Amino acid sequence: MVDRGDDSDSGEQGLLPRLSRVLTAINNLLATTCMNLAGIGLVILTVIFGWLVFGRYVLNSTPTWVEQVALLLVVFIAFLGASAGIQEKTHLNVDVVTIRMPPVIKATLHAIVYLTLAGFGIFLAVYGFKLTQFKWGSQIPLLGWSEGIRVLPLFIGGVLITLFSVGHLLAMTRAGWDRIIGIEPEEMGD
């Protein structure tokens, strides 16, 4: 008899399935929060550009802070949206290569993709943190805010990309290779 580490009928037991379920729930909440914050950022971006146009053409006085705040918002929106895309599986991928491959190769390639994304996330988090620390002492012109805020999204995005990628890898492990390649446990002939 093969021990898969879970019991499908009575709910999954064991550390890995529980960890995977908890991480999936946390990641779903984080992805929703990221998308909500990115949406709020887009609304704020629209409002401040409206203020820029109003100031320039109606008041004949261009607000100088708008460009700097807009740059900050764009970077935050981009990294929040990109990391949430990993969790929601809406990130850019090319299915043409894998569409006709056997299920085991597809699953292996998906695992390689999530391992690569996790590595990229770790890289972003580590070097984003170092860059944030390095830049924290200087100020953004016209705003007076720390320059570290400008690169903080690298760190945040890296942490989120890593969490979401690891969550998908754990979910793949929890699902088990048997189910991934299309063999249900009852077909295995335990």
Supply the mean pLDDT for the chain: 83
Cα 106 from Cα 19, distance rounded (Å): 24
Q: Considering only residues 180 and 41, tell me which one the structure prediction assigns the higher pLDDT.
A: 41
What confidence tens digit (pLDDT) does each residue in 45-88 have?
A: 999 988 888 888 888 887 888 888 998 999 999 999 999 999 99
What predicted TM-score, i.e. pTM, was given to this entire model?
0.79
Q: Going by C-beta distance under 8 Å and a sequence separation of 6 or more, which residues neighbour residue 15? A: none
Q: Going by C-beta distance under 8 Å and a sequence separation of 6 or more, which residues neighbour residue 186? A: none
Max CA pair span of the chain: 79
Residue 143's pLDDT band (boundaries 50, 70, 90)?
confident
Reply yes or no on whether the pLDDT at 20 is more than 50: yes
Reply yes or no on whether the pLDDT at 5 is more than 70: no
